[in-house]
Amino acid sequence: MRLLTHNMLASNARGAVTGYPLKLQVVKWSTKEVEPNPDFLRGILPKLDWPALVAATHALGLPELLPETPPTDAELSAEGAAEEEGGPLRRLHRALLEIHIEEGTLVCPDTERCFPISRGVPNMLLHEDEVRN
């Protein structure tokens, strides 16, 4: 599971208010390099929950990866932004699309219900009596 998916996923456990954002506990993660797509990143940026994304990178032990405030559209659109190693576009690309959580846990912020991540797949299943009404 990548952090872009984490950014949209919420808990539906009984007692959850919003169930969002899920706290991330990471045991193992990996990196898989892919080609950045500037248009995609510019399109997705305004839809992200930035504090949730930053918190996820901190949980990974990468507090330097993203700044506290999101990059601007101008920064992502600048000429050569996609080629600039360590630049804002490449950092965002890495955070959202190149890091894969392999093993760990997602924790509901309201109820502390734990959802295990195993072999890259989060298990969000709930028993009937655990589901939010």
Partner 1 sequence: MPFIICRVKITNLVSLWLWDHRHVVGIDIDLHSLEIAQENAADLELDIDLIQCDIKNLNLRGLLVDTVVMNPPFGTSNKGADMEFISMGLKVASRAVYSLHKTSTREYIKKTALRNCNAISAEVLCELRYNLPQTYKFHKKKEVDIAVDFWRFVPRAREESRGEASKK
Tally Cβ neighbours within 10 Å of residue 48: 19
Q: How far is the CB of 91 from partner 1 (least distance, A)?
A: 18
Binding interface with partner 1 (CB under 8 A):
1-2, 4-5, 7-12, 16, 18-20, 32, 34, 37, 40, 43-44, 47-49, 97, 120-126, 131-133
User: Of 85 and 128, which CB lies nearer to partner 1 in the complex structure?
Assistant: 128
Minimum CB–partner distance for residue 87 and partner 1 (Å): 21
- What is the Cα Rg of the chain in Å? 16
CA 64 from chain centre, in angstroms, equals 15
Q: How far apart are CA 133 and CA 120, in angstroms?
A: 29
With CA atoms as reference, report the closest residue to 90 among 46, 99, 48, 50: 99
Nearer residue to partner 1 within complex by CB, 64 or 133: 133
- Cβ 100 to partner 1, closest distance in Å? 8
